Amino acid sequence: PATPAAEAPKAEEPVVSEVPAPAPAPAAVESDAAPAAQSAGIIELAQRLHDEHVAEGKAQRDQLVSEAQAQAASIVAEAEKQGREERARLEKERTTLEGRITELRNFERDYRSQLRSYIEGQLRDLDTAGSSSGSTPVSAIGL
């Protein structure tokens, strides 16, 4: 890239006049060229350092993004694994509870049936005991 510093040495070159220049003039031109070359070298060095820093920054950015994506994928995978495990645990618990509910319903049905049979047996015994003693059954009294 063309920079103002590269053009500056042209303006600083000594103007050659009609009068022959003394012997130190060529040395002056060389001494003016040396700072110009030195400036150009410094600019080139600065540009190279800048490019290196930019490249390092991009590489670091890419590495950080890559690490973050890997970490995000790991977190998502772990969360999915935990979700599957929790669903499996809950499904197992649900099956256990449904089995227990079925057991309780069967128990209730059997208990009601046995209780009904017992009460009916007791009522028959009352009717039989009342018939044989000659007294009026409780159902006939209207109580």
* pLDDT tens digits for range 3-49: 444 444 444 444 444 545 444 444 444 556 788 888 888 999 999 99
Contacts of 12 (CB under 8 A, 6+ apart): 32, 36
The structure's pTM equals: 0.45
Mean pLDDT, the chain, whole residue set: 81
- What is the structure's pLDDT at 34? 82
Q: Between the CA of residue 87 and those of 62, 78, 83, 100, what are the distances in Å?
A: 37, 14, 6, 20
For the chain, percent of residues with pLDDT exceeding 70: 70
